[in-house]
Chains A and B, each alone.
Chain A
């Protein structure tokens, strides 16, 4: 059917104290015409993978500020793959040092959006890279 909205899960793994940035992104993507599922704070990798599966999303966007990204993000990528969600685009944002980005990409994160990224940049990246499905 012609143009169905791209469905995105915005999730915050780990123990971050606030989710202002994730909410601004969720709202911004809504305004870009995406259907955004928001799950709130303090999600375990298992909870995120379950939500991605049940919602059948095209994209999982992970926001993380705590510094635990090298542990949590690869684990989420692995759980998604184990559930057969290997066609889902996974991106990350928050506070992630440049030095960590190559290893995260290796683990399956398609892009890392740091502070200062505009909503339009994120939206354009998702539209260009989301895998088309039936």
Chain B
């Protein structure tokens, strides 16, 4: 097999040349956070940044996977390549997972330009797996035009996908709540597009009208550039199972992407970079503090906090101090 870096280079070369098996293996390495994966990501990151990353989130059963399937079909009719990362939860008890999103997204056997990958969240709580963003970067470097990041079924505040995607679509089902639900902070706030799916159900248009009234009502302030501004998402209605409204959704996605190119997406890209880099800094700090020479001190410090003999701030200062960090 050779050294991890050699192995990574081999897999990268093959994946970039269009070998889907090498791509799948690379994604496994990323999920398992192997040494080879880090080497591969270093090599691939400069090649990424061209794909349109679209987050699809919403409550369980709203139709996320069915909508992604309908979007894949629509994209293929116009010849655009597409990859999907579909995340489902891991059991907090056994670590096992049932990844069922493929049931709605039948594999396009023989179509080289569709790639669907299921991922278990593996204990990560924000709606994605901790490695979903890195997996998206690999697919981006491999040259897919669009990449869908489908979250686990979310509740009110799993907003992490907004940092990982260029465009965030929040799915709602008809009659899921009243106008007060629509003005609560959280999931709907991060939406660039809100989609009321199951448009053939009674109440779909009314739900969309309520959402429009509440979400679009926010008036931008004149001093908006000094003040974090709520998004004003477009509200669409789809019936994913029949494809109704899906071409319009694709148009809206493209429009959002084009608008983002004018500069409004710069903040989102910076937020994503920050999120990625801080996550790595935090992982590396943790690894350092657990290396054999420091582990005993680190664990003793954590015990002191658990027993309320030391406050957590003093503990953090002590641990950072043990790494030679002083302010």
Contact = CB atoms under 8 A, between A and B. Distances in A.
Chains A and B bind each other: yes
A117 interface: no
Contacts of B21: 53, 56, 83-85
A53 B102 contact: no
Interface residues of B, number: 34
Contact of A36 (B25, B31, B96, B109): B96
B27 A56 contact: yes
Given A31-B94, A36-B96, A47 B103 contact: no
B32 A1 contact: yes
Interface in B224-251: none
A33 B94 contact: yes
Interface residues of A, number: 33
A78 B28 CA distance: 23
Nearest to B24: A56
Contacts of A37: 99, 102, 118
A53 B33 contact: no
A32 B94 contact: yes
A39 B91 CA distance: 19
Contact of A26 (B7, B94, B98, B118): B98
Interface string B1-40: 1000001000000000000110011011001111010000
B32 A35 contact: no
B203 interface: no
Contact of B100 (A38, A43, A54, A85): A38
Contacts of B278: none
Contacts of A84: 21
B117 A36 contact: no
Contacts of A56: 21, 24-25, 27-28
A100 interface: no
Nearest to B106: A47
Contacts of B96: 5, 29-36
Interface of B: 1, 7, 20-21, 24-25, 27-28, 31-34, 36, 90-91, 94-100, 102-103, 106-110, 115-118, 120
Q: Please provide the 8 A-B residue pairs with the shortest distance between their CB atoms, ordered closest to farther.
A: A46-B109, A40-B103, A56-B24, A30-B96, A50-B109, A50-B107, A33-B94, A33-B96
5 contacts: A30-B96, A33-B96, A36-B99, A47-B107, A49-B109
